[in-house]
Amino acid sequence: MPDHDTTENPIEETLHVLRNPGVLGIGLGSLLSDAGHEMATAALPGFLNSIGAPAAALGAIEGVADAALSASKVAGGVIADRPGIERKTVTSGGYAITALGHGAFAVAAAWPAVAIARAVSWIARGGKAPARDSLLAGSVEPTELGRAFGAERAMDSIGAIIGPLLAAPLILAVGYRWLFAISIIPGLLAALAVIVLVKETPRALRTVPPAEASNMRSLLTTPGPFRRLLTGVGLYGLGNFSATLLIFRATQILHDNGRTTTAAAATAVLLYAAHNAANAVAAYPAGAIADRVGRRAVLIAGIVLFALASLALAFSPTNVAALAAIFIAVGVSTGLVETGEAAHAAELLHDHIRGRGFGLVGLVDGIGDLMSSLIVGILLTIAAPAAAFIYAAALATSGAIALARERPGHR
């Protein structure tokens, strides 16, 4: 049976979802918050260099921040499911603290202070994510989950494009410290968008006993399909290497084929911009398709597309057109996977455990991101580049197979 009335006009469907105050508020929150923290992130390497921080400092800052982000998603999930806790408050508060955290870079005199501020910002960013996703899932009908998460992912990606575009002229116009101060504004507007537009529906107000709501082990009683979702996205995550490694390999290929180091790097950055644009463009259509053919099917399609793109990269294509196709394919795959994963998790989880469920998915994603980038980076260093990307393709394919083996009944 289809998830949605397929006779409805797609444009009307889109407008109906976007008119939903919950979708609009959370989508605007994602766009504005991402614009703010990506603005700060884009300026961070140059700022650290300007205060004399060593190159290793950036790695330490990002490593601590990523670990904090993953751990805070689990804690945030527990908080989001507690009786009496409004997910709207957690979400808006998370946006505000995230903004104040990266805004604090403006007064940092040395890199350890930046590391502390970045960790605080990323703890808030991760901690509010399960509440935000649970709130979004509770704002729409089950037949609209794909489009709701697709719209939120698309707006998040647009914010990630806007942030770096704003950073470059602001660095030239006002300098790093004023840029960081200005980056607070979009984050506070994100919190305001949630406060003003989002209404937490009665079905999202939990009445679960405190012992159940706070016990992560209760997730072990979640139906089998959710555990298989974790297995599938975990295997995929172990192959889903960082976009920085994609840029790194493209730069190597272009340099080896006659471009100067600067020209190769500039071309790779432009290819990455195309990747981000493809992600933004793909997210909402992925959600609309997911509502019609199944969220799991879209998730699997995204993983398979990533595997094919990784396999193509293993053969080190030498022309820009081929590399562009790979970057765009990876961008589209990210849009499919992020939308499909969130919508599929939402349909598998009851409202009273959605926070913990989303937190656990976020933890699995975070561990996968860390391990995959380490492994692919090591393989690129000590083995042939082909080995690194064949590994990525193999792990992603394993994840797709694990998801495809899910019993019928959860699409």
* Within a domain: 204: no
Same domain, 186 and 238: no
* Total domains present in the chain: 2
* Within a domain: 208: no
Boundary of a domain, candidates 143, 164, 198: 198
Same domain, 90 and 142: yes
* Within a domain: 34: yes
What averages of pLDDT result for each successive group of 10 residues across the chain (411 residues)? 50 77 94 93 85 79 81 89 87 96 95 93 94 90 89 91 88 92 97 93 51 53 76 93 83 85 82 89 92 93 97 90 95 95 90 86 86 86 89 97 73 51
Residue 113 token pair: 């202070």
* Domain CATH for 290: 1.20.1250.20
Same domain, 309 and 403: yes
pLDDT of residue 391: 96
What CA–CA distance (Å, rounded) separates 33 from 190?
6
User: Tokens 């399960």 correspond to what residue?
Assistant: 130
What CA–CA distance (Å, rounded) separates 334 from 313?
16
Instruction: Quote the pTM value.
Output: 0.80
What CA–CA distance (Å, rounded) separates 221 from 276?
37
Same domain, 176 and 325: no
What CA–CA distance (Å, rounded) separates 301 from 239?
15
Same domain, 190 and 47: yes
* Within a domain: 303: yes
pLDDT of residue 81: 84
Query: Residues 256-277, buried b or exposed e (16+ Cβ, 10 A)?
Result: eeebeeeebbebbeebbeebbb
Same domain, 231 and 335: yes
Q: What is the DSSP string of 288-328?
A: HHHHHH-HHHHHHHHHHHHHHHHHHHHT---SHHHHHHHHH
pLDDT of residue 46: 84
Same domain, 116 and 225: no
Same domain, 184 and 106: yes
* Within a domain: 118: yes
Give CA separation, 82 vs 278, 354, 398, 407, in Å.
Answer: 37, 11, 35, 31
Same domain, 92 and 156: yes
Same domain, 107 and 239: no
The domain in which residue 376 lies consists of 221-411
Boundary of a domain, candidates 198, 232, 253: 198
* Within a domain: 2: no
* Within a domain: 194: yes
CA angle, 170 then 175 then 177, to 5°: 110
Same domain, 118 and 166: yes
* Within a domain: 242: yes
Same domain, 90 and 158: yes
